[in-house]
Amino acid sequence: MMAAANVFSRIPMPTWRWLGVNDLPVPDGLTLPAAPIQLSAATGERVHHVVELRESGAQELEVTVADGAELSLTYI
């Protein structure tokens, strides 16, 4: 039986499954656990978040966007 791989990135949409890109395994040398970052936009909100990735290690983004909201994200 093959060991389960840690997941680096997961796209929760079946649209991409046929390409095989829904899950990306954790690259060698990347330490876990990840630092959790939660971003959200409430109904009617228009928000922009900036996430600094330099020298910060592994991170896990959890994004929640309500109907009628807009959220943009910039990685530095």
**pLDDT per residue as tens digits for the range 19-64:** 665 666 666 766 667 778 899 999 999 999 988 876 666 678 888 9
pLDDT band at residue 76 using 50, 70 and 90 as cut-offs: confident
Q: Domain for residue 52, yes or no?
A: yes
Q: Domain for residue 18, yes or no?
A: no
Mean per-residue pLDDT of the chain: 74
Q: Domain for residue 13, yes or no?
A: no
Q: Domain for residue 73, yes or no?
A: yes
Q: Domain for residue 25, yes or no?
A: no
Whether the pTM exceeds 0.85: the reply is no
Number of domains in the chain: 1
Q: Domain for residue 19, yes or no?
A: no
Q: Domain for residue 5, yes or no?
A: no
pLDDT band at residue 2 using 50, 70 and 90 as cut-offs: very low
Provide the terminal-to-terminal Cα distance of the chain, rounded to the nearest Å. 39
Domain around 44:
30-76
Q: Domain for residue 36, yes or no?
A: yes
Q: Which residues contact 35 (CB under 8 A, 6 or more apart)?
A: 56, 57, 58, 59, 60
